[in-house]
Amino acid sequence: MLEKIVKTADFLRSRGFSNPDAGIVLGTGLGGLTTEIENQVEIAYRDIPDFPLSTVQGHAGKLIFGDFGGKKVVAMKGRFHYYEGYGSDQVTFPIRVMKELGIRALFLSNAAGGVNPSFRIGDIMIINDHICLVDNPLIGPNDDRIGPRFPDMSVPYDPSLIEKAEKAAADLGIPVTKGVYLSTTGPTFETPAEYRFFRIIGADAVGMSTVPEVITARHMNVPVFAVSIITDLGVTGKIEFTTHESVQLAAEHSEEKMTRIMKELIAAL
Q: What is the pLDDT of residue 54?
A: 73
Give the per-residue pLDDT at 53: 80
d(CA 2, CA 23): 19
Instruction: Quote the CA–CA distance of 257 and 149 in Å, as a whole number.
Output: 38
> What pLDDT score was predicted for residue 108?
96
pLDDT at 135: 92
pTM over 0.85: yes
pLDDT at res. 1:
85
Question: 133 with 183: CB under 8 angstroms?
Answer: yes
- Residue 175 buriedness (CB in 10 A; 0-12 / 13-18 / 19+): exposed
> Cα–Cα distance between 62 and 58 in angstroms, integer?
12
| pLDDT (0 to 100) of residue 174 | 93
Cis, bond preceding 141 (omega within 30 deg of 0): no
Structural domains in the chain, CATH included, are 2-267 (3.40.50.1580)
pLDDT tens per residue across all 269 residues of the chain: 899 999 999 999 999 999 999 999 988 667 778 888 999 999 999 999 999 887 665 456 899 999 999 999 999 988 888 988 998 889 999 999 999 999 999 999 999 999 999 999 999 999 999 999 999 999 999 999 999 999 999 999 999 999 999 999 999 999 999 999 999 999 998 999 999 999 999 999 999 999 999 999 999 999 999 999 999 888 887 777 777 676 677 667 778 898 999 999 999 98
> What pLDDT score was predicted for residue 74?
97
Angle at 180 between CA 176 and CA 184, to 5 degrees: 120
pLDDT number for residue 3:
94
